[in-house]
Amino acid sequence: MSFDFDHPPERRGTDSQKWQKYAGRDVLPMWVADMDFRAPPAVIEALQRRVADGVYGYARPVPSQVAAVVETLSQLHGWTIDPEWIVWLPGLVVGLNVTATAAAGPGEEILCLTPVYPPFMSAPRNAGRVPVTVPLAYATASRTWEIDWDALERAVTPRTRAFFLCNPHNPVARVFRRDELEKLAEFCVRHRLVLCSDEIHCDLILEPGLRHIPTGTLGGAIAQQTITLIAPSKTYNIPGLGTALAIIPNADLRRRFVHATQGIVAEVNVLGFTACEAAFRHCEPWRQALLERLRRNRDLVLRAVADTMPGARIEAPIEATYLAWINVADLGLKDPIAHFEAHGVGLSEGRFFGAAPGSHVRLNFGCPESTLREGLRRLHAGAVAAVK
């Protein structure tokens, strides 16, 4: 099957948060993790049928929608789950915030590894909990971001109650291996920590030899301490439809989680359920085509940064996601975002992910090649200007 990833929909002047940020300015938005591709045809068709029904009341998932989740996790990841473990949510960030409330009490601590997706640090604060960050260690010899196990052990206190994991990792695009996950599971079990695993990018593995390993498949005691968060939003480019899931095998932990949602968390909307089922059930050919496009885009980014951008470098392989974590520390920019915006490209600021100010930016390469090439041209112009 052939899918069009070359002709972007016009998003200027629309409700796109990504493009509204730079309305009226000649700045290509390559910041928020929202791809500039149309959703899969099967999702669009399913939504059109559902809209034609003309009834949009309060919704609950029907059996076929639940089955689509169960079957996808089994087929793609070898994970057999009980439908009772599923808690539907209107977004993955909601899941992080609910977990902070359910897993820890006021003033208690939640660990995470930085740099990381900003809600990992803001969710505990929102709930009156304390985020404790442990920097990932960069291994120069192997060019990988690794967990600093000694630092992680030192970070644990009598007030530590949970650990937030991002796998595949945003922003460093790392896929954690089985031995690392098993060691992390042992760590959480030994310290009696709830392990919240954000796996929203699990179906966007770019390195052919790698596989995503859901933390929930490790078995043993860790299965009873794990909340896994997934969503179709990133893979199938439907974040605006607000649909995510928490998978929680432990009934008591699940009750605590659901209790923390009551009166605060909105329900998933009728179109979100429809899109989720269509994505998981009918869009595997589209996903495979998307992965091929993202691999080509990734390779283009890696070559461009390495060959044409003085003072910028990508330190590790981009194993998953459509996000590039670029070290720009050598450019000596006090405000790299403003600098690159002045050269026509909008990026994400590294310090919001827990990186040192001015050290890193994140670039979203989920876009047509023509858009990416223009963005890289502007990025190059900004890098050259900075070193003059």
- Is there a domain that residue 378 lies in? yes
**pLDDT exceeds 90 at position 158:** yes
C-alpha–C-alpha distance, residues 72 and 86, integer Å: 14
- Is there a domain that residue 7 lies in? no
Residue numbers of the domain that contains 382: 17-39+284-387
Residue 207 per-residue DSSP state: S
pLDDT band (50, 70, 90) for residue 388: confident
Question: In angstroms, what CA-CA distances link 385 with 172, 311, 324, 336, 373?
Answer: 26, 11, 21, 12, 18
Q: What is the mean pLDDT of residues 366-371?
A: 97
Specify whether 341 is located in the same domain as 366: yes
Query: In this predicted model, what pLDDT tens digit does every residue of 263-288 receive, in sequence order?
Result: 999 999 999 999 999 999 999 999 99
pTM for the full predicted model: 0.97
pLDDT score of 353: 98
Question: In angstroms, what CA-CA distances link 71 with 80, 113, 204, 273, 280?
Answer: 8, 31, 18, 16, 9
Specify whether 56 is located in the same domain as 126: yes
- 107 CB contacts (<8 Å, ≥6 apart)? 128, 129, 130, 159
- Is there a domain that residue 190 lies in? yes
Specify whether 241 is located in the same domain as 153: yes
| CATH code for the domain in which residue 363 is found | 3.90.1150.10
Specify whether 32 is located in the same domain as 49: no
Domain boundary among 256, 282, 308: 282
**Based on the structure, what is the number of domains in the chain?**
2
Specify whether 35 is located in the same domain as 78: no
Q: What is the mean pLDDT of residues 160-179?
A: 98
Domain boundary among 263, 282, 301: 282
Check: CB of residue 209 under 8 Å from CB of residue 172. no
Give the CA dihedral 277, 282, 287, 288, nearest 10 degrees.
150
- Is there a domain that residue 338 lies in? yes
- Is there a domain that residue 372 lies in? yes
C-alpha–C-alpha distance, residues 237 and 16, integer Å: 12
- Is there a domain that residue 5 lies in? no
pLDDT band (50, 70, 90) for residue 16: very high
Specify whether 171 is located in the same domain as 198: yes
| CATH code for the domain in which residue 93 is found | 3.40.640.10
C-alpha–C-alpha distance, residues 123 and 110, integer Å: 10
Q: Comparing C-alpha atoms, which of 217, 160, 206, 210 is closest to residue 187?
A: 160
Query: In this predicted model, what pLDDT tens digit does every residue of 296-343 receive, in sequence order?
Result: 999 999 999 999 999 999 999 999 999 999 999 999 999 999 999 999
Domain boundary among 251, 282, 313: 282
Specify whether 182 is located in the same domain as 296: no
C-alpha–C-alpha distance, residues 267 and 358, integer Å: 39
SS3 195: strand
Cα dihedral sign, 230-234-236-239: positive
Specify whether 100 is located in the same domain as 246: yes
Specify whether 140 is located in the same domain as 179: yes
Specify whether 146 is located in the same domain as 213: yes
Specify whether 308 is located in the same domain as 273: no
Strands 109-114 and 160-166: parallel
- Is there a domain that residue 10 lies in? no
Mean pLDDT of the chain: 97
**pLDDT exceeds 90 at position 2:** no
Check: CB of residue 241 under 8 Å from CB of residue 229. no
- Is there a domain that residue 254 lies in? yes
Query: In this predicted model, what pLDDT tens digit does every residue of 221-264 receive, in sequence order?
Result: 999 999 999 999 999 999 999 999 999 999 999 999 999 999 99
Specify whether 190 is located in the same domain as 205: yes
Check: CB of residue 200 under 8 Å from CB of residue 231. yes
C-alpha–C-alpha distance, residues 157 and 181, integer Å: 21
